[in-house]
């Protein structure tokens, strides 16, 4: 097993990886941008190195800089988390070339699965069900696209071959709308991914987004940890995930898991990955894509299958076989888990991003409740990154109890100073269709209406009072030596940074003291 790894990420996923490493006795190296200087993942690391200013293109996306830091700090491996460089085949190859283990699939597997057109072809060869479509369409070849669209039928999707995160996708209901959708999708794909190639795919209406978590080792074993339901989406972005799915029978689960295993074996896949499917109301399912990394929603799988997926990632990357499944008998979900993504955005203002100073944060407590977050009192949320502030996850013996537990946890969670989508989640968990599981990928935008905001939100008032009291007590509390105590978060930051080691460039070497 490794003794030191670098985590090429930030926020709650960096903290998540650090916690497992600490349990395994593995030291961690944090990289951070200037706005993240006081972030929790920096404080918690054994070593921390600043790699640039706020924009990700000048910090968290700098492959050469991150590898330089890994080599200088003696890190044997790099965990990419999710987002940023996690699915960058060039980064995976660069790690290997530098003699560093990349904790994820190989660059060749990423290339085979990262391009959606090549992934579709690979799945067809492997016998995995694929949505009818047309591959390798030139965004300017309108005539060919029209012929293929007529053959596929409407409605259909125009999708970016190198796309991800919902970018480069357009829904087309009529032939006359095809050209405009192609040009828009191609332009967005070129801007976002540097590749304007698109493909056409039948739009399976009222379908569910169901995905299978898999893990593969270097000895040929591929394990599928059941399914996650991810159909509550807004603009192709997931907001709520649960495991298992109300729509998946044991027979469908087995067929999906078999397909996911076949997908992984088709390209010699290794480490964690997710195979995403569209599940039609008829019970038929179709391959959607493979996410060659750990997913944001991995905790719900961990809770219902009793596994630590990050630990298994580290074990597999270190050349160890997959450990035995911790429970006797067949691998079946135990209980029900639900995750809500807590984002910095205002649901009463069309989900406008909300950033700024977190005045007070009170996490929910109680049985079966977990809050993975980067938040703390006094955090100034940077403008440079996505809006995810944390993930609220609950587990219970049944779905009904999990729903009730989530409603309780949402009421208990307090974040003061910035707007969040907590009111959206609270309204969603009171919706009859959602509670009954009558959802699909288009349900939220077509059928759910956000209620009007209350005139006086007692939770916000309580949060502001708590923040004021906390600030007052911190300012008034005397230190042990009789001098007034400094600000809690700043003192904490100074104390933790003084314990960390930072690398100073220009031949300065390693130095104890304030992180650079």
Domain with residue 140: its CATH number is 3.30.1490.20
Residues contacting 446, CB < 8 A, separation 6+: none
In a domain, 269, yes or no: yes
Residues 145 and 41 in one domain: no
In a domain, 113, yes or no: no
Expressed as residue numbers, the domain containing 81 is: 4-103
Residues 225 and 360 in one domain: yes
User: Of 447, 466, 481, which closes a domain?
Assistant: 447
In a domain, 503, yes or no: no
Residues 176 and 216 in one domain: no
CA-to-CA dists, residue 177 to 344, 435, 459, 472, angstroms: 35, 36, 47, 60
Residues 177 and 222 in one domain: no
Give the relative orientation of helices 89-97 and 63-73 as an angle to the nearest 10 degrees: 30
Residues 293 and 429 in one domain: yes
Q: How many H helices and E strands in the chain? A: 17, 25
At residue 504, the 3 state secondary structure works out as strand
Q: What is the CATH number of the domain that holds 422?
A: 3.30.470.20
The tens place of each residue's pLDDT in the chain, 516 residues long, gives 999 999 999 999 999 999 999 999 999 999 999 999 999 999 999 999 999 999 999 999 999 999 999 999 999 999 999 999 999 999 999 999 999 999 999 999 999 987 777 888 899 999 999 988 887 788 888 999 999 999 999 999 998 877 665 678 899 999 999 999 999 988 887 876 777 788 898 888 899 999 999 999 999 999 999 999 999 999 889 999 999 999 999 999 999 999 999 999 999 999 999 999 999 999 999 998 899 999 999 999 999 999 999 999 999 999 999 999 998 888 999 999 999 999 999 999 999 999 999 999 999 999 999 999 999 999 999 999 999 999 999 999 999 999 999 999 999 999 999 999 999 999 999 999 999 999 999 999 999 999 998 876 555 555 566 656 555 655 554 444 443 333 334 443 333 433 333 333 333 333 222 333
In a domain, 459, yes or no: no
Residues 58 and 178 in one domain: no
User: Of 103, 120, 152, which closes a domain?
Assistant: 103
Residues 136 and 50 in one domain: no
Residues 358 and 254 in one domain: yes
In a domain, 482, yes or no: no
In a domain, 143, yes or no: yes
Do 238 and 276 contact (CB within 8 A), yes or no?
no
How many distinct structural domains can be found in the chain?
3
Do 212 and 227 contact (CB within 8 A), yes or no?
yes
Do 136 and 117 contact (CB within 8 A), yes or no?
yes
Residues 89 and 173 in one domain: no
Catalytic-role residue among 111, 293, 341, 370: 293
Q: What is the CATH number of the domain that holds 22?
A: 3.40.50.20
Distance of CA 435 to the CA centre of its chain: 24
Residues 335 and 282 in one domain: yes
In a domain, 505, yes or no: no
Per-residue tokens: 318: 């270190």
Find the largest Cα–Cα distance for the chain: 82
User: Of 170, 187, 202, which closes a domain?
Assistant: 202
The answer to whether residue 234 is catalytic is no
In a domain, 508, yes or no: no
Residues 326 and 242 in one domain: yes
Residues 39 and 168 in one domain: no
């Amino acid at each position: 097993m490794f003794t030191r790894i670098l985590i090429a990420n930030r926020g709650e996923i960096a903290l998540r990886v650090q916690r497992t490493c600490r349990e395994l006795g593995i030291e961690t190296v944090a990289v951070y941008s200037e706005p993240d200087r006081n972030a929790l993942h920096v404080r918690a690391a054994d070593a921390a190195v600043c790699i640039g200013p706020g924009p990700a293109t000048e910090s968290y996306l700098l492959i050469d800089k991150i590898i330089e830091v890994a080599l200088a700090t003696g890190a044997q491996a790099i965990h990419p988390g999710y987002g940023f460089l996690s699915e960058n085949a060039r980064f995976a190859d660069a790690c290997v070339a530098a003699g560093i283990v990349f904790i994820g699939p190989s660059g060749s597997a990423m290339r085979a699965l990262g391009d959606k057109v090549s992934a579709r072809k690979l799945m067809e060869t492997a016998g995995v069900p694929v949505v009818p479509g047309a591959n390798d369409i030139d965004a300017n070849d309108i005539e060919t696209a029209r012929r293929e669209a007529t053959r596929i039928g409407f409605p259909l999707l125009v999708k970016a071959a190198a796309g991800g995160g919902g970018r480069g996708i357009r829904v087309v209901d009529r032939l006359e709308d095809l050209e405009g959708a192609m040009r828009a999708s191609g332009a967005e794909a070129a801007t976002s991914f540097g590749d304007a190639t698109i493909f056409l795919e039948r739009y399976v209406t009222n379908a569910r987004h169901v995905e299978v978590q898999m893990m593969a080792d270097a000895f040929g074993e591929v394990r599928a940890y059941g399914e996650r339901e991810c159909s509550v989406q807004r603009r192709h972005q997931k907001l709520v995930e649960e495991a298992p799915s109300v729509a998946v029978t044991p027979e469908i689960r087995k067929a999906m898991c078999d397909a996911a295993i076949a997908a992984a074996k088709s390209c010699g896949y290794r480490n964690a990955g997710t195979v995403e499917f569209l599940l039609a109301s008829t019970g038929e399912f179709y391959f959607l894509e493979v996410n060659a990394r750990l997913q944001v929603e991995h905790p719900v799988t961990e809770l219902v299958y009793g596994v630590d997926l990050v630990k298994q990632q580290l074990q597999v990357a270190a050349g160890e076989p997959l450990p035995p499944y911790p429970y006797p008998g067949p691998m079946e979900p135990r209980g029900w888990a639900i995750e809500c993504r807590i984002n910095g955005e205002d649901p009463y203002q069309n989900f406008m991003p909300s950033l700024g100073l977190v005045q007070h944060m009170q996490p929910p407590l109680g049985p079966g409740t977990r809050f993975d977050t980067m938040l703390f009192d006094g955090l100034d949320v940077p403008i440079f990154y996505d809006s995810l502030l944390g993930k609220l996850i609950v587990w219970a013996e049944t779905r009904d109890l999990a729903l009730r537990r989530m409603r309780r946890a949402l009421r208990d969670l307090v974040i003061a100073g910035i707007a969040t989508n907590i009111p959206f989640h609270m309204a969603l968990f009171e919706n009859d269709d959602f509670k009954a599981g009558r959802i699909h990928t288009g349900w939220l935008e077509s059928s759910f209406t956000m209620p009007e905001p209350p005139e006086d939100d007692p939770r916000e008032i309580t949060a502001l009072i708590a923040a004021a009291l906390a600030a007052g007590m911190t300012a008034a509390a005397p230190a042990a030596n009789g001098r007034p105590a400094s600000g809690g978060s700043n003192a904490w930051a100074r104390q933790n940074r003084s314990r960390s080691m930072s690398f100073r460039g220009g031949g300065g070497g390693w130095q104890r003291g304030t992180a650079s």
